[in-house]
């Protein structure tokens, strides 16, 4: 999957996260993280993001994360939604899940 534009998903409500995925041509994955629980869970959040990027086959992207205490599964869902939007793909390949 290739990022071709900016995709945003999620909200700034409590227990949610707002994620913006945008182009970062040939520069790998760069994460800008802002979280109310960064000290405690910053490392874990970055791990969740890197794993999801690998799963989606995205090699280059700037990922901006504004976390309001979201669970890992919420971060994964919002990141995936933002990535699909950034790739301009409207249907998830559910058959591969």
Partner 1 sequence: MEKLRRTMLYVPGNNAGMVKDAHIYRSDSVMFDLEDSVSINEKDSARLLIFNALRTLDYEGIETVVRINGLDTPFGLDDIKAMVRARPDIIRIPKADSADDIKEVEAIIEAEEKLAGLESGSIKLMAAIEGPLGVINAYSIATASKRLVGIALGAEDYVTNMKTKRYADGMEILFARSQIVTAARAAGIYALDTVYSDINNEEGFINEVKLIKQLGFDGKSVISPRQITPVHRIYTPEQKEIDFALRVIEAIHEAEEHGSGVISLDGKMVDKPIVDRAERVLAMAKASGIMVHEDDI
Would you call 22 helix, strand, or coil by DSSP? strand
Beta carbons within 10 angstroms of residue 61's beta carbon: 28
In terms of Cβ atoms closer than 10 Å to its own Cβ (0-12, 13-18, 19+), residue 19 is buried
Considering only 21-29, 37-45, 55-63, 85-93, which stretch makes contact with partner 1 by CB under 8 A? Answer: 85-93
Site for partner 1 in 19-78 (CB under 8 A): 70-74, 76-78
Instruction: Pick the binder of partner 1 from 62, 65, 66, 80 (CB under 8 A).
Output: 80
Instruction: Pick the binder of partner 1 from 25, 26, 39, 94 (CB under 8 A).
Output: 94
Could you give the C-alpha distances from 86 to 5, 25, 43, 44, in angstroms and in order? 5, 13, 24, 23
Instruction: Pick the binder of partner 1 from 4, 36, 37, 92 (CB under 8 A).
Output: 92
Q: Which residues in this chain contact partner 1 in the complex, by CB under 8 A?
A: 9-11, 13-17, 70-74, 76-78, 80-81, 84-85, 90-92, 94-95, 97
């Amino acid at each position: 999957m290739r990022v071709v534009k900016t995709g945003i998903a999620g909200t700034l409500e409590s227990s949610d996260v707002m994620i913006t995925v945008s182009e970062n041509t040939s520069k790998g994955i760069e994460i800008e993280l802002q979280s109310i629980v960064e000290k405690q869970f910053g490392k874990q959040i970055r791990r969740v993001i890197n794993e999801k990027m690998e799963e989606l086959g995205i090699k280059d992207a700037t990922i901006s994360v504004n976390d309001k205490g979201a669970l890992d599964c919420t971060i994964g869902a919002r990141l995936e939604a933002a990535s699909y939007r950034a790739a301009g793909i409207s249907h998830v390949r559910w058959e591969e899940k």
